[in-house]
A and B are shown apart, each in its own frame.
Chain A
Amino acid sequence: MRQISTALKLDENRLASPAALAAYRESILAERDPNRPIIIVCHGTGCLATNSPKVADTLRRAIAAAGLQAQVVPEIKTTGCHGFCSRGPLVIFHPTGLFYQRVQPEDVEEIVQTTLLEGKPVERLLYVDPNTGEHIVHDHDIPFYKYQQRLVLRNIGKIDPADIRDTIAAGGYQSLAKVLAGMTPEEVIAVVETSGLRGRGGGGFLAGRKWRLAVENVRKSPGPVYVVGNGDEGDPGAFMDRTLMEGDPHAVLEGMIIGAYALGAQQGYIYVRLEYPLAVRHLSVAIEQARALGLLGQNILGTGFDFDIKINRGAGAFVCGEETALIASLEGRVGEPKTRPPYPAEKGLWNRPTIINNVETWGNVPQIIEKGADWFAGMGVPHSTGTKIFSLVGKVNNVGLVEVPMGITLGRIVEEIGGGVPGRDEFKAVQTGGPSGGCIPWELKDTPVDFDSLTRVGSMMGSGGMIVMDKRDCMVDVAKYFLEFLMDESCGKCVPCRMGLERMHAMLGEFTMGKGSLEDLDELHSLAEGIKDGSLCALGGTAPNPVLSTIRYFRDEYEAHILHKTCPGKVCRELITYAINSELCNGCTLCARECPAGAITGVKKKPHEINSSLCIKCGVCFEVCKPEAVEIL
């Protein structure tokens, strides 16, 4: 992590008025040569894990060594996540948009020679459309990007998140300046209200109404108030907030500063999940740089408005994403949810009115102020306005982060942006809404993705996780998986959640072993309803959703387990056996060497066999077999 804040001498540029920000932006833009090419090397978590820092380093050195003429030496910029994580490391050339995927340090020499010196693309690094086989040269032509509408993500992948000048050059903090230069808190709230912005963290509560309630409560009981950014993204299969905090931390800060102005808050907190160290680092640098420029802290932009933000790291508890539990944790207490009412807008942090919004919600605020409530409300569908970021993962060709207008159908996201499931099958189900959500079957692929439609089909928007499942996934196992997750994360305070999830898990466990009866399935359904009704907080209240939605749409799979003792997805261990297809086995002996149970025998270059009485069904042979001779029966 580069510490560039001191080198930037930002303190010398402390901005004394909203107009000074505009002037500073002009000076940054004037220093930059608009014709200088830029090579972007993605430094999101996905690309970092697949070697992108080494690619950037090698590129820097190779360019220096290549002796390019001064005016065409490209700038190497490391940015946040481009979303297309499964293809990382990504290298993108600006202004052309030439897009290379899965670039490794070994490729750099050829890139410099072919692309920089000869001006031609390196064919083998281009993205190949899995459906058409076509090589695609530019990022904007790749279906994954073509159908997206990147608004909250607009700067990510273009700016260096560790350099505030990039953000300012891209228009960052303009909305704050606009607010401080001439809008009353009342006007700010009215814009957010009219925009119809709903909470992006799961609840979907109208942000403007939340703000309004808090302001009314402050009026009734004057004193300190707080704003909180919820970055405790915990839904498995979701990484929208992570990408936003890592890639454009200033968007979150700017939204929170605007919210603080509307509420009259002087202190804010961002609660970041334990597992996101890079997000903490980028937010810390962003806060430091914003303070140095006078965009945060005392006397912001010389207007007399004071507001500062502190980062709190989570300590490993999913339930702390629930707002009352998050607040308890901020106060240094056990992260147990409390009954609402009272809502945080009335009694939040230290029993004072508090606006707590998800970081993606905050990230929407600056552009709403900039472009207006009508512009925002014009996107999406009534009651679900604007765009939403989803993490599209699982059994889909193009895995990554996508931003689309609300109301787009599930099928379009999976098939057009995601490129469908590998192997040209239809997807079986899409799980949305995290562990509180449900599994939506392929038959409902025309369901519009908006808050109310998803709830209607028994799932929910949640924070935006979208996990695609194909015929090799078992829906009973998926339901059991989510219960395992929730049992591990339940705070254990109330009985329906603590004991009920364990009981549902035990019942599902029976089904996955081919035990139980159809009466038990009805019992499970009744228990699920009881937990939904009886639990204290939203975690328990929504925990039965994966069970209820799989029973509703995939009852046949439950029946297959219970009545026929078979697992259609070939996942449930008690109901499957491993075998080697002697026609495909080339006798490489790898499986026999890797088998931890010594269950595989055979001589070299001859088909091997699995002794099913010794087999522990660990699946290692299946995983290592190159000719795919291991079969699951």
Chain B
Amino acid sequence: MISFTINDREVTGQEGWTILEVAKWHGIDIPTLCYHGAVEPYGACRLCVVEVDDGQQRRLVASCLHPVQEGLKVQTDSERVKNVRRWILQMMVDEHPGSQRIKELAKSYGVKESRFKSDRVEDLCILCGLCVRACDEVVGARAISLGNRGVRKEVATTHRLPSPECVACGTCLYVCPTGAMEQLFDRIRG
């Protein structure tokens, strides 16, 4: 067993566990969007960042990926952590004003829409990659992937045509945190 602290509270976790897993086990809340227990963690949304102090340096890490270490001091709600979360939610709520889930999360951090608010209410995909990972790791169909890069990144099928690999199982619909898959699904399965 590995002992360390979360918010000054002594906790223990098993070798190979992540900070997020231990926090969940101990009922400590860390917000997530791209995390799902059924698939490998990905570390993309960065909402789950926590501040860690390993005795040498203090830095922010994604708790969904960072392995627990003996003696680590974890803060889940420090000023730096809050600043990162506020900005992530600020940008998400501006870019995806149609998502209820994001609206609620933003509200809980006191974040309101800004002058950069988008008018595309139908744009719901936050590129968390859960659908892609579920299709690959859980279903094994590998019908979709994250195509392109940077600001043009998108959930896509090959040649943007309906995917012959799609078995229309609906797993992607189930894991999608924002409802974006509702619009994409018919285009994927054809």
CB within 8 Å of B: which residues of A? 317, 334, 339, 341, 487-496, 498-500, 502-503, 506, 526-527, 529-531, 533-536
User: A506 contacts which of B46, B49, B87, B116 (Cβ < 8 Å)?
Assistant: B116
Q: Can you sample 30 A-B contacts with CB below 8 Å? A: A339-B43, A339-B66, A488-B150, A490-B149, A491-B149, A492-B153, A494-B46, A495-B44, A495-B45, A495-B92, A496-B46, A496-B84, A498-B150, A499-B91, A500-B91, A503-B116, A526-B83, A530-B83, A530-B84, A530-B88, A533-B80, A533-B83, A534-B46, A534-B60, A534-B87, A534-B88, A535-B46, A536-B43, A536-B44, A536-B46
Q: Are B44 and A530 in contact (CB under 8 A)?
A: no
Q: Are A495 and B126 in contact (CB under 8 A)?
A: yes
* Given A494-B45, A526-B87, A536-B44, 18 more pairs with CB closer than 8 A: A491-B153, A492-B127, A492-B150, A493-B42, A493-B44, A495-B91, A499-B92, A499-B95, A502-B151, A503-B116, A506-B116, A526-B83, A527-B87, A529-B80, A533-B49, A533-B60, A534-B84, A536-B62
Report the separation of the CA atoms of residues A341 and B47 in the bound assembly, to the nearest whole angstrom.
19
Instruction: Specify which chain A residues have a CB less than 8 angstroms from the CB of B148 in the assembled complex.
Output: 492
CB distance from B99 to the nearest CB of A (A): 14
Q: Is B67 an interface residue when CB atoms closer than 8 A count as contact?
A: yes
Report the separation of the CA atoms of residues A394 and B88 in the bound assembly, to the nearest whole angstrom.
36
Q: Is B111 an interface residue when CB atoms closer than 8 A count as contact?
A: no
Report the separation of the CA atoms of residues A529 and B80 in the bound assembly, to the nearest whole angstrom.
8
Within 8 A of A (CB), among B14-34: none
**Which A-chain residue is minimally distant from B128 (CB atoms)?**
A495
CB distance from A331 to the nearest CB of B (A): 16
Instruction: Specify which chain A residues have a CB less than 8 angstroms from the CB of B65 in the assembled complex.
Output: 339
User: B151 contacts which of A498, A527, A533 (Cβ < 8 Å)?
Assistant: A498
0/1 string, B52-94, CB within 8 A of A gives 1? 0000000111100111000000000000100110111001100
Instruction: Specify which chain B residues have a CB less than 8 angstroms from the CB of A534 in the assembled complex.
Output: 46, 49, 60, 84, 87-88
0/1 string, B140-152, CB within 8 A of A gives 1? 0000001011111
**Which A-chain residue is minimally distant from B61 (CB atoms)?**
A339
Top 7 closest pairs, chain A to chain B, by CB: A492-B153, A534-B84, A530-B87, A499-B91, A490-B150, A492-B150, A533-B60
Total contacts A-B at CB 8 Å: 87
Q: Are A495 and B46 in contact (CB under 8 A)?
A: yes
Q: Which applies to chain B's interface (DSSP): helix, strand, loop or mixed?
A: mixed
Report the separation of the CA atoms of residues A494 and B45 in the bound assembly, to the nearest whole angstrom.
6
Instruction: Specify which chain B residues have a CB less than 8 angstroms from the CB of A527 in the assembled complex.
Output: 87
**Which B-chain residue is minimally distant from A540 (CB atoms)?**
B46
Instruction: Specify which chain B residues have a CB less than 8 angstroms from the CB of A526 in the assembled complex.
Output: 83, 87
User: A529 contacts which of B43, B61, B83, B126 (Cβ < 8 Å)?
Assistant: B83
CB within 8 Å of A: which residues of B? 42-47, 49, 59-62, 65-67, 80, 83-84, 86-88, 91-92, 95, 116, 126-127, 146, 148-153
User: A487 contacts which of B44, B46, B127, B151 (Cβ < 8 Å)?
Assistant: B151
Instruction: Specify which chain A residues have a CB less than 8 angstroms from the CB of B152 in the assembled complex.
Output: 492
Instruction: Specify which chain B residues have a CB less than 8 angstroms from the CB of A503 in the assembled complex.
Output: 91, 116
User: B86 contacts which of A488, A502, A530 (Cβ < 8 Å)?
Assistant: A530
Instruction: Specify which chain A residues have a CB less than 8 angstroms from the CB of B151 in the assembled complex.
Output: 487, 490, 492, 498, 502
Instruction: Specify which chain A residues have a CB less than 8 angstroms from the CB of B146 in the assembled complex.
Output: 334
User: B67 contacts which of A341, A499, A500 (Cβ < 8 Å)?
Assistant: A341
Instruction: Specify which chain B residues have a CB less than 8 angstroms from the CB of A492 in the assembled complex.
Output: 127, 148-153
Report the separation of the CA atoms of residues A488 and B150 in the bound assembly, to the nearest whole angstrom.
6
**Which B-chain residue is minimally distant from A535 (CB atoms)?**
B46
